Amino acid sequence: MNSILQQDLNNFEKILEKAKQQGINFLNNLENIPTSNKNTIDSKRNLNELGLGSEEALKEFNNRLAPLLVSSPGPRYWGFVTGGSTPASIVGDWLASVYDQNTQSVTSQGGNSALIELETINLLLQLLELPDSFLGGFVTGATMSNFTSLAVARQWFGKQFGKDYAKNGISETINILTATPHSSSIKSLSMLGIGSQNYTVVKTTEGNREALDINDLEEKIKALNGKPFILISSAGTVNTADFDDFEAISELKEKYNFWWHIDGAFGGFAAVSERYKHYVKGWDGADSITIDCHKWLNVPYESAFYLIKKDHIHLQIETFQNSNAPYLGNALENFNYLNVVPENSRRLRALPVWFSLVAYGKEGFQDLIEKSTLLALHFGNALVDDGRFELLAPIRLNNVCFTLKGNENQDNVNSFLAKLNDTGKVFMTPTFYQHKKGIRASFVNWRTTEEDIKMVMEVMKNIINDNF
């Protein structure tokens, strides 16, 4: 063994203790760490001939690299849809690294950690009140979950023509219908060889909505003259957290032949709340569903899962199986993640979620989801009360899409947001909605409180008073 490695091994406990203390210092100080900074490095460090050992590496990390990092797990990082890790999720994440399993099989002598993943998926189905006719697994993010689901949809589409696209490539035009897809679904169409421009846009419902118009959907279906298609629908669009009408789509599924995918990256968690579960009524009829855990479940990146109906397991294996040998025996009995997802080697990604669900239970997440939506409403009300902002859409769930009031202020939106984000007190994302430049704040972090909203409103008022 290399002497530096040996030295690290001898000091293991001390090193881990230091890393733990580092973590505690960061997390206990999150409130004061800026949400953005202008620190930089030239990224051209020379690789040293002789190793420094972990303790020295940690010192260098603290001096040079840590200053780059922002408080994205903190209470006022409202950009994108960003959760922050909870204590239980960090325990799971650290232990996933420590145990360092290659999670694939439920039966092999090489380790059975996939049983933990299956148990976690089962807990998630209970949390979301979905039936166990779905089988799921973990991937890095909702992008990969959309990709995985749509890859199986692509194989299904080929089967309608007696083709095996996984083996022979795509030979028909694949019909895709969608209204307000997330950019990652479009990216998936590009990665899948379907083509990022090759989809038909369904109209949205009248009246400041992003949900698809069911009548227009049926018109577009009829125009396909009985040909199969793939429907990409939304449970929570990023700008306005709008939901397609899943009960109406379920009825169409009785009449027409299509694969139904739902992207519920964050909006799927509406199912956890009595108050909001009506948004997802009927979603259990989908063929595949995408959910992110590193958003509203507040676990560290990279964590998302797909759910695909068990009936489709053979299509899934045809798409992802890792060898050309015919699959041996019963696909569900000899289950191996290696044959149903894009990755071969994979970490025990389920563990942070398992710890979170067991530690906080259904009620913990109900509270979190409802608290987030209340905070979104408070923030929306504060914006309206101030009189110099306007909401671009009603607040349905946890996202607030707003802008500076008055068309004459459209040119100021970006500079206002830049000034706001430069304060490091809060971070929000620019957006474009209903032909207007806007700003989006998303409430998903378990640490956010009403005090944070008060503080942010003060910062926003000061910027407006000073500059406009």
Ligand X SMILES: *Cc1c(COP(=O)(O)O)cnc(C)c1O
Closer residue to ligand X in complex, CB, 238/417: 238
Q: Which range, of 63-71, 258-266, 352-360, 376-384, touches ligand X by CB under 6 A?
A: 258-266
Question: Would you count residue 85 as binding ligand X (CB under 6 A)?
Answer: no
| Site string (65-84) toward ligand X, x via CB under 6 A | ----------------x---
Question: Cis peptide before 247, with omega less than 30 degrees from 0?
Answer: no
Whether the Cβ atoms of residue 243 and residue 265 lie closer than 8 Å to each other = no
Least separation in angstroms between residue 245's CB and ligand X is 17
Whether the Cβ atoms of residue 76 and residue 319 lie closer than 8 Å to each other = no
Distance CA 15, CA 98 (A): 14
Least separation in angstroms between residue 83's CB and ligand X is 11
Least separation in angstroms between residue 297's CB and ligand X is 12
Instruction: Say what the alpha-carbon torsion angle 446, 382, 81, 433 is, to the nearest 10 degrees.
Output: 170
Q: Which residues contact 13 (CB under 8 A, 6 or more apart)?
A: none
- Judged by CB under 6 A, the residue of 134, 266, 269, 365 near ligand X is 266
Q: Which range, of 58-66, 139-147, 201-209, 403-411, touches ligand X by CB under 6 A?
A: 139-147
Least separation in angstroms between residue 224's CB and ligand X is 25
Residues numbered 300-359 forming contacts with ligand X, rule: CB under 6 A? 304
Question: Would you count residue 372 as binding ligand X (CB under 6 A)?
Answer: no
Question: Would you count residue 286 as binding ligand X (CB under 6 A)?
Answer: no
Whether the Cβ atoms of residue 224 and residue 208 lie closer than 8 Å to each other = no
- Judged by CB under 6 A, the residue of 72, 86, 184, 421 near ligand X is 184
Least separation in angstroms between residue 28's CB and ligand X is 27
Closer residue to ligand X in complex, CB, 271/317: 271
Could you tell me how far CA 240 lies from the centroid of its own chain?
16
Task: Work out the number of other CB atoms within 10 angstroms of the CB of residue 386.
Answer: 13
Whether the Cβ atoms of residue 421 and residue 77 lie closer than 8 Å to each other = no
Q: Which range, of 135-143, 224-232, 281-289, 402-410, touches ligand X by CB under 6 A?
A: 135-143
Closer residue to ligand X in complex, CB, 53/430: 430
Give, as one character, the DSSP assignment of residue 270: G
- CA distances for 38 relative to 35, 58, 122, 348, 421, angstroms: 11, 22, 43, 35, 11
Closer residue to ligand X in complex, CB, 105/234: 234
**Is beta strand 436-442 parallel, antiparallel or unpaired with respect to 429-433?**
antiparallel
- Judged by CB under 6 A, the residue of 128, 142, 221, 382 near ligand X is 142
Q: Which range, of 61-69, 136-144, 333-341, 390-398, touches ligand X by CB under 6 A?
A: 136-144
Number of H helices and number of E strands within the chain? Answer: 14, 11
User: Which residues contact ligand X (rule: CB under 6 A)?
Assistant: 81, 141-143, 182, 184, 236, 238, 263, 265-266, 292, 304
